[in-house]
Amino acid sequence: MNNDATLCDIGFIGLGVMGKNLVLNLADNGYSIAAFDLDNEKVNAIIKQDALENTTTTARVVGCSSYTELLAKLKNPHLIVLSVPAGSPVDQVCESLIAAGIQGDDIIIDTGNSLWVDTVAREKKYKNNFIFFSSAVSGGEVGARFGPSLMPSGSPYAWTRIKPIWQAIAAKVDENTGKPLERTQPGEVINTGEPCATYIGPAGAGHYVKMVHNGIEYADMQIICEAYHMLRTGLNMSPEKIADIFEQWNKGLLDSYLMEISVEVLRHKAPSSEIPLVDLILDKAGQKGTGLWTAMSSLEVGCPAPTIAQAVYARSISSFKSLRIEAASIYTDTNKTDMSAEQQQTFIDNLHDAIYCAKICAYAQGFQLMKLAAKEHGWTLDFAGIAKIWRAGCIIRAVFLQSITAAYERNENLENLLLDDFFAEQLNKYQQSWRQSVANATLMGIPIGAISSSLAYFDAMRTAVLPANLLQGQRDYFGAHTFERIDKPQGKKYHVEWSSEQREIIAIESNPS
Ligand code: 6PG
């Protein structure tokens, strides 16, 4: 280990929104940074910003104009953080660092939203050149600056070197209450509380967990947007009035970062006007892909995740703006019946319960997906630990995650959150108002795909006998795909000769193994 005091602790490549804020967070926590970006203006900007915020007498961040200079300014063995777009940019930087002379005991940490299978491949691809490690980061720019939720995975050896740094910069929660310990000022550090950074598992596991976090995030966001749509269109409420309702909801079961920022967005006025900004925002949603990856993975591993998938489809439907305008001129809208003040309040209360229940389903789907994926890929995931690091710092942070943490602390092998006593009690308590709210939306012609698909998911998952019996009969009729019988030993297959007069049921002998 080269301890030359003039050398920096950490190299940092990629000074975009997340990168520059992670650099300042690292600097606040006492680490010296050698910073590089292909855009030299970003290097100059971070040096300038650090000088503004730095209250110590020595520079905390030094700029580099090449990968070679970066390595030369770092203590050995090197520790380099990447914050670059997912995909080929990660490999371009790795190849450049190999060319610049990175060594075997050096560590590169990919903190982008990389696709987890790419991370698995990269650990193998670069293992003779350096240690490729990854740590997904959640919390947006404020989280990166003052405390993100971190999902590291890969070499356990690398984690021993990274752990103290990651636990210093991560968001913290009070060990007794589980409530976030907020950092808001440059230079501020928190050395107490539980850090929202825990080792997830082998390479790829951390990026998979982050991917599912984003899938849940998509669902959470869509559920809130559907509630907004119900109030805006169903009750003709102003954004400000809706913000007041959301603000009330944010003091109870629905207390969350996403609900909190939705209040801010709905209250915000367009510059020098009284027009709500939200009325000027085009209703076409973007997506960088992590929600899509989650939905695809749920189909691949056979995990029902309709709320997450609906949230992705909702973004896709929103992108067809001109088609929707044309279709709106073709189809008659449903009538919105006037409601008394009391009926409106019931409508609002039912809606509150509906989004709470839908949220439970979205998280149940996400956690079951992680469980099934872990089984398929041989990971051992700590679901209470994952819920714990999502209590602060990340985009889906919410009081609700305390209940999920408790559920997995009661039973670490819980197959699905729907089977947890607390959530079963909650869903039984609120399911009728959930149904009523879905009925309201249906009769009003308001699309609430995430909320209503959650109800369909809930009803299917709690139904002991589904119509798959007829489906098996259909499959056997046209494809001789066989079926099992409830009155025969499990696994025994049968087929009916549908084209024959007798249509006898034939027991299919299983192929000798
Ligand atoms: C986070 C966010 C973040 C997300 C971007 C873009 O955890 O900080 O999930 O990683 O990827 O906000 O997300 P979309 O463009 O896919 O909505």
428, pLDDT greater than 80: yes
Which percentage of the chain shows pLDDT scores above 90?
91
| Angle at CA of residue 115, ends 319 and 301, nearest 5° | 85
What average pLDDT does range 263-282 have in this prediction?
A: 95
The minimum-distance atom of ligand 1 relative to the CA of 149 is 7
User: Has 75 been annotated as catalytic?
Assistant: no
Cα(427)–Cα(478) distance, integer angstroms: 40
- Residue 224 domain-assigned? yes
Domain boundary among 151, 172, 202: 202
Cα(483)–Cα(495) distance, integer angstroms: 7
Cα(366)–Cα(370) distance, integer angstroms: 6
Bridge partners, 108 (sequence order): 80, 132
- Residue 380 domain-assigned? yes
Query: Separation of 219 CA from ligand 1 center, angstroms?
Result: 12
Active-site hit among 42, 75, 172, 210: 210
Query: Separation of 440 CA from ligand 1 center, angstroms?
Result: 32
- How confident is the model at residue 56, as a pLDDT? 83
Domain co-membership, 346 together with 276? yes
Directed axis angle between helix 400-410 and helix 341-377, to 10°?
A: 40
- Residue 5 domain-assigned? no
- How confident is the model at residue 438, as a pLDDT? 98
Query: Separation of 263 CA from ligand 1 center, angstroms?
Result: 19
User: Has 321 been annotated as catalytic?
Assistant: no
pLDDT in tens, 157-172: 999 999 999 999 999 9
Query: Separation of 333 CA from ligand 1 center, angstroms?
Result: 34
Domain boundary among 202, 231, 266: 202
CATH number for the domain harbouring residue 482? 1.20.5.320
Smallest CA-to-CA distance from 454 within 319, 357, 347, 332 is with 357
* DSSP category for residue 74: B
316, pLDDT greater than 60: yes
User: Coil, strand or helix: which one is 107?
Assistant: strand
Domain co-membership, 304 together with 362? yes
CA 87 centroid distance within chain: 19
- Mean pLDDT, the chain, as a whole number? 96
Domain co-membership, 122 together with 258? no
What average pLDDT does range 475-503 have in this prediction?
A: 96
Query: What is the number of structural domains in the chain?
Result: 3
Domain co-membership, 446 together with 474? no
The minimum-distance atom of ligand 1 relative to the CA of 210 is 7
The minimum-distance atom of ligand 1 relative to the CA of 291 is 16
- How confident is the model at residue 202, as a pLDDT? 98
Show the domain range for 215.
207-461
- Residue 342 domain-assigned? yes
Predicted confidence band at 6 (pLDDT cuts at 50, 70, 90)?
Answer: confident
Domain co-membership, 224 together with 183? no
Smallest CA-to-CA distance from 97 within 77, 118, 120, 119 is with 77
Domain co-membership, 281 together with 216? yes
Contact 223, 187 (CB under 8 A): no
| Angle at CA of residue 423, ends 422 and 428, nearest 5° | 105
pLDDT in tens, 212-255: 999 999 999 999 999 999 999 999 999 999 999 999 999 999 99
The minimum-distance atom of ligand 1 relative to the CA of 18 is 8
Query: Separation of 285 CA from ligand 1 center, angstroms?
Result: 13
Contact 502, 487 (CB under 8 A): no
Query: Separation of 148 CA from ligand 1 center, angstroms?
Result: 13
Ligand 1 site, CB within 6 A: 113, 138-140, 214, 217, 286-288, 290-291, 394-395
The residue whose CA has the least distance to atom 7 of ligand 1 is 138
Pocket test for ligand 1, best of 288, 316, 401 (most atoms within 8 A of CB): 288
Domain co-membership, 189 together with 214? no
Domain co-membership, 53 together with 192? yes
User: Which residues are CB-contacts of 117 (< 8 A; sequence separation ≥ 6)?
Assistant: 204
pLDDT in tens, 65-96: 999 999 999 999 999 999 999 999 999 999 99
The residue whose CA has the least distance to atom 6 of ligand 1 is 288
Cα(312)–Cα(383) distance, integer angstroms: 24
The residue whose CA has the least distance to atom 12 of ligand 1 is 140
- Residue 4 domain-assigned? no
pLDDT in tens, 130-189: 999 999 999 999 999 999 999 999 999 999 999 999 999 999 999 888 889 988 899 989
Contact 54, 82 (CB under 8 A): no
Pocket test for ligand 1, best of 17, 113, 218 (most atoms within 8 A of CB): 113
The residue whose CA has the least distance to atom 9 of ligand 1 is 214
- Residue 340 domain-assigned? yes
- How confident is the model at residue 165, as a pLDDT? 98
Cα(95)–Cα(116) distance, integer angstroms: 19
Domain co-membership, 194 together with 312? no
User: HSE (CB half, 13 Å, CA atoms) of 265?
Assistant: 15
Total-model pTM: 0.95
Cα(306)–Cα(309) distance, integer angstroms: 5
- How confident is the model at residue 170, as a pLDDT? 97
What average pLDDT does range 3-12 have in this prediction?
A: 86
Contact 304, 219 (CB under 8 A): no
- How confident is the model at residue 4, as a pLDDT? 67
- Residue 48 domain-assigned? yes
Domain boundary among 153, 177, 202: 202
Predicted confidence band at 59 (pLDDT cuts at 50, 70, 90)?
Answer: confident
513, pLDDT greater than 90: no
The residue whose CA has the least distance to atom 10 of ligand 1 is 138
CATH number for the domain harbouring residue 102? 3.40.50.720
Domain co-membership, 101 together with 21? yes
Structure tokens at 479: 């494809």
Query: Separation of 214 CA from ligand 1 center, angstroms?
Result: 7
- Residue 420 domain-assigned? yes
pLDDT in tens, 348-401: 999 999 999 999 999 999 999 999 999 999 999 999 999 999 999 999 999 899
Smallest CA-to-CA distance from 415 within 467, 466, 375, 460 is with 375
Domain co-membership, 130 together with 221? no
Domain co-membership, 451 together with 477? no
CA 418 centroid distance within chain: 20
Distances (CA, A) of 275 to 43, 266, 272, 464: 38, 11, 9, 51
Active-site hit among 42, 73, 123, 217: 217
Predicted confidence band at 337 (pLDDT cuts at 50, 70, 90)?
Answer: confident
Predicted confidence band at 451 (pLDDT cuts at 50, 70, 90)?
Answer: very high
CATH number for the domain harbouring residue 325? 1.10.1040.10
What average pLDDT does range 454-473 have in this prediction?
A: 98
2, pLDDT greater than 70: no
Pocket test for ligand 1, best of 217, 256, 296, 312 (most atoms within 8 A of CB): 217
Instruction: Give helix then strand counts, H and E, for the chain.
Output: 19, 12
- How confident is the model at residue 52, as a pLDDT? 93
The minimum-distance atom of ligand 1 relative to the CA of 214 is 9
487, pLDDT greater than 90: yes
What average pLDDT does range 443-452 have in this prediction?
A: 97
1, pLDDT greater than 90: no
